[in-house]
Amino acid sequence: MLKIICFCIFAVVGLSGCATITRGTTQPVAINTPGVTDAQCTLVSSTIGTVTLSTPGVVTLPKGSESVTIRCSKHCYNDGSGILSSNMESMAMGNVVAGGVIGLGVDAATGAMNKYAPQADILMTPDGSCAPLSKSRKK
């Protein structure tokens, strides 16, 4: 019985809050340009490199501590840009509380202790270079 209790304590201390195991090292993120479809967006950071997609779209990003810069463009619209911030995953704090220094190190090395917002909305406005189509009038 003592062996079972010791094993359980070891398992709780060793694995508690390990974001690498519980949350993974990648994350899906939705990129939207409200009111503008088929905009071409480029996401850049040292962790992810350069990733491109059309909106609306979902991309799976490797987690990292660096924020991701987003720039979207489409003919007839001003470019839109934004930042996808990286924040600490709450599960990583379990390593500190439970004393799992090794788990914290693994989470930091793999990026699992970080997370991005699940969605980024990049606003784009018409640039005025494309005139709206006029409706034909009845006589």
Higher-confidence residue of 1 and 46: namely 46
For the chain, the domains span 17-121
Name the strands in the sheet holding 40-45, side by side, starting at the edge strand that comes first in the sequence: 49-54, 40-45, 68-73, 80-84
The predicted pLDDT at position 3 comes to 65
What is the average pLDDT across 28-51?
A: 96
3-state secondary structure 22-63: HCCCEEEEEEECCCCCCCEEEEEECCCEEEEEECCEEEEEEC
Residue 6 pLDDT > 50, yes or no? Answer: no
End-to-end CA distance of the chain: 94
What is the average pLDDT across 43-52?
A: 94
Lowest mean pLDDT among 20-34, 71-85, 90-104: 90-104
pLDDT band at 17 (very low <50, low <70, confident <90, very high): very low
Beta-bridged to residue 43, according to DSSP, are 51, 70
State which of 9-13, 14-18, 28-32, 64-68 shows the largest mean pLDDT.
28-32
The predicted pLDDT at position 101 comes to 52
pLDDT, tens only, 82-117: 999 887 655 545 555 555 554 555 555 444 557 889
The predicted pLDDT at position 39 comes to 98
